[in-house]
Homo-oligomer: A and B are copies of this chain.
């Protein structure tokens, strides 16, 4: 067990997915965790789940020393984050307070306007989540290897930064310092706009009059996967970052509108070039995304046909393991209507040929 940077006790306010995950991760390091939630049911559920003990004293005036947190982590929905942070700053005059809301400028502005003690507050945002919510979706490992933004401001102290960094590092995250404005610009681009676009494309399927959905392939599935996200939570996130999201959305919508003009008259001067440039910008943009392990390493893919019955995947991975080949990524794709699947196995390029040879020698049907 690595020595922890986080001092006990930590108070986690809000025991949903993120709060429970923070608490479970700290409990694994034997940090003492106090839990509070406006919903007694959620709070007790998280405690039963092993996330810590229910806080009995809710401010410094009534708390014993052992129940007085050095750091308070506010994990409540974005629209009440500023209010709860302000309450916690007042309740614990010696504590550092942070939050994990996915927008950072609006809460900071609200706290500034409220005259809050900003020397003790610096917001943060772990870039981790799941499609399901609630305490039971919490995972101690949720933050491992994920970026954790610390949204520093002009009054952030070295002490506050160290406390919050220590917490993030203890939970296995990688810290990234940026301002609240930079953070909100960044998430508008990499999270909020992609969410709205995915929802928009999925929403178009409601107008499908020709049974087009039955022809859908993997591309549409990928583009629309996050369209299944939670409507209420996203409403709060998006409105809290409204103008930044709107600006990028207009840029995108304008580009798509110009593209529509080009598609309506592809033989007009410049039209084909407009279409090609749109595709090429996409090619280049997607290369900007970091790959696995934070690097840009690309893998070679070997596709194997697998019968759709128990034991086949076991045999496959058994034999890959026996060949001492490490699988980097896998995906299993089923052909609709067929009783076979295609397992795509990503490996480092150096071992690709050996994997193909080994599998073919063992009788697997390997494609490409």
Chain A positions within 8 Å of B, measured between CB atoms, are 127-130, 132, 136-137, 139, 141, 144-147, 149, 172, 174, 176, 178, 182, 185-187, 189-191, 193-217, 219-229, 231-232, 234-235, 238-239, 242-243, 245-257, 259-261, 263-266, 271-272, 275-276, 278-286, 288-290, 292-294, 303, 305, 308-322, 324-332, 334-338, 340, 342, 365, 367-368
Asked if B326 contacts A204 (CB within 8 A), the reply is no
Asked if A289 contacts B216 (CB within 8 A), the reply is yes
Known: A185-B210, A204-B252, A314-B320. 18 other contacts (CB 8 A): A127-B217, A137-B368, A141-B305, A174-B337, A186-B215, A191-B217, A199-B279, A203-B282, A204-B251, A205-B289, A227-B283, A227-B285, A227-B286, A231-B280, A238-B266, A252-B256, A312-B321, A327-B332
Please give me the residue from chain B that is nearest to A273 by CB atom: B235
Given A174-B337, A229-B279, A242-B263; A318-B314 close (CB under 8 Å) = yes
Asked if A127 contacts B223 (CB within 8 A), the reply is no
Residues of chain B lying within 8 A (CB to CB) of residue A311: 321-322, 324
How far is it, in angstroms, between the C-alpha of A327 and the C-alpha of B164 when the chains are bound? Answer: 40
How far is it, in angstroms, between the C-alpha of A137 and the C-alpha of B325 when the chains are bound? Answer: 23
Residues of chain B lying within 8 A (CB to CB) of residue A190: 205, 212-213, 215-217, 220
Asked if A127 contacts B215 (CB within 8 A), the reply is yes
Residues of chain B lying within 8 A (CB to CB) of residue A252: 200-201, 204, 256
Asked if A259 contacts B290 (CB within 8 A), the reply is no
Please give me the residue from chain B that is nearest to A258 by CB atom: B253
Residues of chain B lying within 8 A (CB to CB) of residue A272: 235, 239
Asked if B281 contacts A206 (CB within 8 A), the reply is yes
Asked if A266 contacts B239 (CB within 8 A), the reply is yes
Partner of A227, one of B185, B228, B254, B282: B282
10 CB contacts below 8 A, A to B, read A144-B338, A145-B335, A145-B338, A194-B220, A198-B223, A222-B226, A227-B282, A228-B283, A231-B279, A231-B280
Asked if A281 contacts B203 (CB within 8 A), the reply is yes
How far is it, in angstroms, between the C-alpha of A253 and the C-alpha of B245 when the chains are bound? Answer: 15
Given A208-B189, A224-B289; A196-B317 close (CB under 8 Å) = no
**Chain A to chain B: the 10 pairs with minimum beta-carbon distance, closest first:** A145-B335, A199-B282, A314-B321, A145-B338, A203-B281, A202-B285, A186-B212, A227-B282, A294-B336, A311-B321
Asked if A278 contacts B203 (CB within 8 A), the reply is yes
Asked if A253 contacts B242 (CB within 8 A), the reply is no
How far is it, in angstroms, between the C-alpha of A2 and the C-alpha of B249 when the chains are bound? Answer: 53
How far is it, in angstroms, between the C-alpha of A193 and the C-alpha of B212 when the chains are bound? Answer: 13
Please give me the residue from chain B that is nearest to A127 by CB atom: B215
Residues of chain B lying within 8 A (CB to CB) of residue A283: 199, 202, 227-229, 231
Asked if A340 contacts B282 (CB within 8 A), the reply is no
Given A204-B285, A279-B235; A310-B326 close (CB under 8 Å) = yes
How far is it, in angstroms, between the C-alpha of A261 and the C-alpha of B245 when the chains are bound? Answer: 10
Residues of chain B lying within 8 A (CB to CB) of residue A282: 198-203, 224, 227-229
How far is it, in angstroms, between the C-alpha of A204 and the C-alpha of B172 when the chains are bound? Answer: 30
How far is it, in angstroms, between the C-alpha of A321 and the C-alpha of B205 when the chains are bound? Answer: 38
Asked if A250 contacts B260 (CB within 8 A), the reply is yes
